[in-house]
Structures are given as C-alpha cells and as structure tokens.
Amino acid sequence: MAKADWEIPANLQPDPSDYAYDLTRALNAVVGIRSYVPADAFTAGTLGTERAGSGVVIRESGLIATIGYLVTEAETIWITTTDGRAVPGHALAYDQETGFGLVQALGRLGLPALEMGDPDQLKTGDAAVFAAYGGRKHAVETRIVARQEFAGYWEYVLDEALFIAPAHPFWGGCGLIVDGKLMGIGSLILQQGDRKGRRLDMNMVVPINLLPPILDDLMSYGRVNRPARPWLGMYATETDDSLVVGGLADDGPAEKAGVRAGDRLVAVNGEEVSELAGLWRRVWASGSAGAEVRLELAREGGRQEVAIRSGDRARFLKAPRLH
C-alpha cells in the first residue's frame, strides 16, 4: 500500500525535542488499518465496504487496538506500518459498549507496543499527541479540552469521554499519547460553536482504561462474556425540546414494531426521557437482549405506546472469518 500524500501542517506537528520520551518510537506503534467488508454485511450501507483508519500496537505479538467501526464485519484486513510494510490482519473483536475493536496481525510486525496509561490522571489543558498512521507528519499536537459524558445516536453512551483540540482530520483509530503512553483511541470529530459564531473542531476519544477490564474476554470470546444489552436498531437525535427518531436499522426490532422516523420519544417503560444518554440507559435498564422495551411516542398530534422485543446487535453482524 502506498503511503497517504496528506500531511498535518508543520506548525501543528509534534517536535521530538519537546518530549521527554522517544516520540519516534511511540509513533511507530501506530499502524494503518484498511478493511474490506462484504456488500451484504449489516453495516455495509452505513459504514461502507472499504474502511481505512489507524490502530495502535498494544502487545509486541501484534495485537492492535482500534475503533470498532473500522473492522466490524471485516472479511479482509491489511495492516500498514510506518515504513510501508503491509501485513494481513484478523478482526478479533468489537465491543459494542466501549466501541473498541481488536485486530491481530497474522504476520510479524516487529513494532514496539505502547503501554496503556491512566486517562483518569489527565486534566483539562494537558498536552498530548494524537497520531494517525504515518509518523510525525500524520500526528498533531493537541490538548485535553473536556472530560465528560458522551451519548451517540446509535445506542451508545460513555460515562466519561475525552475531548481534544485542535482536531485531527483523519481521527478514526488514532492513538492519544501522553508521556509515551496510550491514553485513548480516536472515535469522532465534533463541531462546537461559541457565542461569537466561531467553530471549534474537537475529536472525541475513547479512554483506554475501559479496555483492560474486558481485554481477556474480547481475546477469548470476541465479545464481553456477559448478557448483551437490549438493542432496538433505532437512531435518535436531540432537538431543542425533544428526542426524535432520526432513522431505523432495516429489519431491526424498532422498525418491526412499527416505530417510524420522525416519531418523538416521550418515555421508556413509563419513565419520561428528555436527553439521549437517559434514553439509552432506560432502554438498557429493561434487562438483557430479548427484553421487551415499551416506548411512548408522539406522532401526528397524538401519543401511542409501542412494545419492542429487543435484540442482540451482534447477531445482526457477520462474524469475522479466520484466514
């Protein structure tokens, strides 16, 4: 694979002389991930059949931590090193709750592994390096600008995510590095405006301390060894005064139960909900996958209750094949 021809502006790149650790060694642990997904995969329509991003070597055996959407349902994975070598990989796991993905190199990488650090020690304002595959020219000097809850429209909540700025333009699977240790994996880019109409681009980063408690399960079973959360296959968004169904997974539990795009979400199991994190937490409180979830919806000037038999999201996905 040829190296990408883009570069981070020189004034935003990290200078090795500014760091007490070996920056070049740390950046060499960040690899490229390119995955190919079958056209009939459940996520092909939303995430595409060819996906590219980064990952970070966390064990010298070739175990790589990345963001899960890059490798979900991947049939073929190629790992690219900073020096241009391409090695096949296997998607070991995707954890729905944290968003992490694991890839195992199927050939020798010969790369250093980044030690996982403790994001709980990070403070707002702390400096960091946020690195995509490709060395210093693909890394940006950044700072922690917030540590707070994050809720995603795809039935996802982190109790405390990391937010950094300036943002990296190719954030998926990037490694957040502080003092030579891995502090998180890049997930999203977000835009926030201020009162003067200026826009601040930030990256949302999944803290790496969420990975060690589940790592053994992911490596052994491909998922965390506990009952799955109830999944509705429903995409919800917050508006100024309500929660609205923005879309539905084809043939997912919510669509089958009659939920429609545009419905306003009023309550879950009899309890009113007004923000996204609360919505998903109320759904998960219904039990494990398969539990009934009752939604109260506002539609066309009236209200109605819909009972949804929830599902296990993983059962809708193609399992990875070992080559």
pLDDT, residue 321, reads: 61
Cβ–Cβ under 8 Å, residues 274 and 151:
no
Interior CA angle at 165 toward 184 and 137, to 5°?
75
pLDDT for the residue 1: 36
Two tokens, residue 85: 């070598």
CB atoms within 10 A of CB 3: 15
Give the Cβ contact number of residue 149 at 10 Å.
12
Peptide bond into 38 cis (omega under 30): no
* Residue-level pLDDT at 290: 97
Residues 305-318 as b or e (16 or more Cβ within 10 Å = b): ebebebbbbbebeb
Q: Name the pTM for this structure.
A: 0.94
Closest by CA to 235, choosing from 222, 254, 251, is 254
- For residue 257, the tally of other CB atoms under 10 A from its CB is 20
- The Cα diameter of the chain in Å comes to 64
**pLDDT values of the chain reduced to their tens digit, one per residue, 323 residues:** 334 579 999 999 999 999 999 999 999 999 999 999 999 999 999 999 999 999 999 999 999 999 999 999 999 999 999 999 999 999 999 999 999 999 999 999 999 999 999 999 999 999 999 999 999 999 999 999 999 999 999 999 999 999 999 999 999 999 999 999 999 999 999 987 666 767 889 999 999 999 999 999 999 999 999 999 999 999 999 998 899 999 999 999 999 999 999 999 999 999 999 999 999 999 999 999 999 999 999 998 899 999 999 999 999 998 766 54
DSSP E strands, the chain? 30-36, 50-59, 63-67, 76-80, 86-94, 100-105, 127-131, 139-152, 156-165, 175-178, 181-193, 199-207, 234-238, 243-248, 264-268, 271-272, 292-299, 302-309
Distance CA 96, CA 228 (A): 9
* Full set of structural domains in the chain with CATH: 10-113+215-221 (2.40.10.10), 119-208 (2.40.10.10), 234-316 (2.30.42.10)
SS3 at position 191: strand
The pLDDT value given to residue 5: 78
pLDDT of amino acid 3: 44
Q: In this predicted structure, what is the pLDDT of residue 243? A: 97
Residue type, 85: R
